[in-house]
């Protein structure tokens, strides 16, 4: 289980605002193997989401090199990257990003719009994912009929249904109270124990403590690593 999934070297990300260059990531190197549960911790504005978006192929670095599961992301076209995202990556966000007029089942089914899997297989995958997060009895509910913790569990099921190689979670407990945060983190831990590979971004050391390893980012640079 020492196969690398993320191999990012000297990642630089600058934003250009008129004539000023704003450096956001300054030579970040990150390596992660399959089966790892890694936390990226840092204060607000330190560059965590920018780094996660690059790892998740939602954004490209200004310079540097990045291999995702052996694929050179910088040499891939936008079409190739969106295919990688929809097949291999499961995203979980602070704000859940569920569609309010769709049921739980329909929300979890959405990522399959870009797949060529048949409806029977999709239905089986959705049911398995909803069972994994313990919400089988809410499958026909709409998001407004769920608690915050339940909504986040649905968004985790949506990420799981495609059977991703890597789960990327950006402040997944940011909108939850402490009890629900704990439940969500125990769920991530269980998914990791079942073989899942997870990157979690958080500003909260308590949340980061559920991961196996942690890197700390400050002002766009990795300043510490702990196992």
Burial of 226 (0-12, 13-18, 19+ CB in 10 A): exposed
Task: Choose between 182 and 203: whose C-beta lies nearer to ligand ADP.
Answer: 203
Q: What is the DSSP string of 153-165?
A: HHHHHHHHHT--S
3-class DSSP state of 113: helix
Q: What angle do CA 164, 168, 169 make, to 5 degrees?
A: 130
Q: What token pair was written down for 100?
A: 């309010």
Cα–Cα dist 219/160, whole Å: 32
Q: 12-51 mask for ligand ADP (x: CB under 6 A)?
A: ---x------x-x-----------------x-xxxxxxx-
Min separation Cβ 219 and Mg ion, Å: 14
Closest separation in Å from C-beta 208 to Mg ion: 14
The partner in contact with residue 224, picked from Mg ion, ligand ADP, none with C-beta cut-offs of 5 to 8 angstroms by kind, is none
Q: Which is nearer to ligand ADP, 46 or 107 (CB)?
A: 46
User: Per-residue x/- marks for Mg ion, 37-56, CB under 5 A?
Assistant: ------------x-------
Interface with Mg ion by CB under 5 A: which residues? 49
């Amino acid at each position: 289980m020492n196969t690398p999934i993320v191999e990012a070297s000297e990642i630089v990300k600058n934003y250009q605002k008129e004539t000023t260059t704003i450096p956001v990531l300054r030579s970040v190197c990150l390596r992660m193997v399959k089966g790892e549960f890694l936390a990226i911790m840092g204060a607000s504005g330190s560059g965590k989401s920018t780094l996660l978006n690059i790892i998740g192929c939602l954004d490209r670095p200004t310079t540097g090199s990045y291999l995702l599961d052996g694929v050179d992301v910088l040499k891939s076209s936008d079409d190739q990257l969106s295919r990688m995202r929809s097949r291999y990556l499961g995203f979980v966000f602070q704000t859940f990003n569920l569609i309010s007029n769709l049921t739980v089942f329909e929300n979890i089914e959405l990522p399959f719009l870009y797949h060529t899997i048949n409806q029977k297989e999709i239905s089986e995958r959705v049911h398995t994912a909803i069972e994994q997060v313990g919400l089988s009895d809410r499958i026909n509910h709409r998001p407004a009929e769920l608690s915050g913790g339940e909504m986040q569990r649905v968004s985790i099921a949506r990420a799981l249904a495609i059977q991703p190689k890597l789960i990327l979670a950006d402040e997944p407990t940011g909108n939850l109270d402490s009890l629900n945060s704990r439940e969500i983190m125990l769920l991530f831990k269980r998914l990791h124990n079942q073989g899942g590979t997870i990157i979690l971004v958080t500003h909260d050391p308590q949340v980061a403590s559920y991961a196996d390893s942690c890197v700390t980012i400050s002002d766009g640079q990795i300043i510490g690593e702990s196992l």
